[in-house]
Amino acid sequence: MVDLTLSLAPGTYGAENREGPGVTVSQRHGLHILHLAGDLSDTDFPTAARHALGLPLPQLAGETRDGHGVRVLWLAPNRWLVVSGHKLETDAFGEKASVNDVGQGRSVLRLSGRSVRDLLCKGCPIDLDPQSFSAGHAAATLLGHLNVVIDCIADDVFDLYVTRSFDHFIHDWLVRAGKEFGVRISAA
């Protein structure tokens, strides 16, 4: 019997603190997201990618780069996530690139607040201490049962990329895990 709460009303859940909820969760809409794969050692690919994006692909593990309204997240060797507010052409990256539009297949949640790192630590095994994971870092990792991408936007602001079909589940998880800090779910 599955009795999961499949829809969460916007509102504040859990602990009541004088400072207000420790974490706020809101959904980011209207993002265009491409999954980009290509061989960095083949010079055609990074050149075409730089041309298409207007910035070079990040090459360090967990590195992110910004510019021209585009944010590029290093996901794995030869794999990136390209996030933008405007539509990006999938064929702009040259013949050597493998591109998929994954914008509607991902739920992007903006998490913020003073307890946001403590909340993420409850399900994510990587080092999320500010000295190891700060703005400019992203990681394809785990949160609870789920594969997620965590992107550090600012000290206490993170974007969480979750496979769309887990959208209900991750909201439910965030509320459960966040209750001890107080968690606010913003209207969609």
Partner 1 sequence: MNHQPFRKPTGGNIDRSQPLTFTFDGKVYQGYSGDTLASALMANGVKLLARSFKYHRPRGLTGYGVEESNVLVQLRTGARSEPNIPATQVELYEGLVAESQNRWPSLHFDIGAVNSKLSGLFPSGFYYKTFMWPAKFWPFYEHAIRHIAGMGKSPTLEDPDSYAHNYRHCDVLIAGGGPAGLMAALSAGQSGARVILCDENADFGGMLRGRRDTIRGKPGPEWVADTAARLAAMKNVRLLRRTTAAGYYDHNLIVLDERVADHKATPENHEPRHRIWHVRAKEVVLATGSIERPLVFADNDRPGVMLTSAAQAYANAHGALAGRRAVIFTNNASAYAAAADLKAAGIEVQAIVDLRDSLEAPELKIAANANIGVLNRHVVVAAHGAKSVHSVTVMPVDSNTTPVGEAQEILCDVVCLSGGWTPSVHLFSQSRGKLCYDETLSAFVPDKSFQRERSAGACQGAFQLDACLHEGAKAGAQAAVAAGFATTAADVPRCSADAVVKPRLLWAIPAPDHLHGGKQFVDLQNDVTAADVGLAYQEGYHSVEHLKRYTTLGMGTDQGRTSNVNGLAIMAGHRAEAITAVGTTTFRQPFTPIPMGAVAGLNAHDHVAPVRTTPLHHWHESLGSPFAPTGQWLRAQGYPKDGETLEQATMREAKHVREKVGIVDVSTLGKIDVQGPDALEFLNRVYINSFSNLAVGKCRYGVMLREDGLVDDDGVVTRLAENRYMITTTTTHASAVMNRLEYLLDVDWPSLNVHLLSVTDDWSGIAIAGPHSRTVLTKVTSADLSNSAVPFMGYAEIDIDGVPVRLFRISFSGELAYEINMAPNATRTVWDALLKAGANQEIIPYGLEAMNVLRIEKGHVVGGELNGRTTADGLGFGKMISTKKAFVGKVPARRAGLTRDDIHQLVGLVPTDEKTRIPRGAQLIADPKATKPVAMQGEVTSQCMSPNLGHPIALALLNGGRARHGETLKAHSPITGQTVTVTVTNPIFIDPQGERLRG
Residue 113 or 182 having the CB closest to partner 1: 182
Determine which residue in the list 122, 153, 156, 157 makes contact with partner 1, applying CB under 8 A.
Answer: 122
Q: Are strands 146-154 and 138-143 parallel, antiparallel or unpaired?
A: antiparallel
Q: Is residue 179 a contact point for partner 1 (CB under 8 A)?
A: yes
Q: Is residue 144 a contact point for partner 1 (CB under 8 A)?
A: yes
Rg (CA), the chain: 17
Q: Is residue 105 a contact point for partner 1 (CB under 8 A)?
A: yes
User: Could you tell me how many residues of this chain bind partner 1 (CB under 8 A)?
Assistant: 49
The answer to whether 111 and 119 have CB atoms below 8 angstroms apart is yes
- How far, in Å, are 6, 17, 46, 105, 172 from residue 80 at the CA level? 31, 39, 12, 16, 28
Determine the Cα–Cα distance for residues 162 and 107; give it in Å rounded to an integer. Answer: 5
Determine which residue in the list 127, 134, 155, 186 makes contact with partner 1, applying CB under 8 A.
Answer: 127
Lookup result for tokens 């980009």: 36
Determine which residue in the list 57, 70, 109, 124 makes contact with partner 1, applying CB under 8 A.
Answer: 124
Q: Is residue 129 a contact point for partner 1 (CB under 8 A)?
A: yes
Q: Is residue 146 a contact point for partner 1 (CB under 8 A)?
A: yes
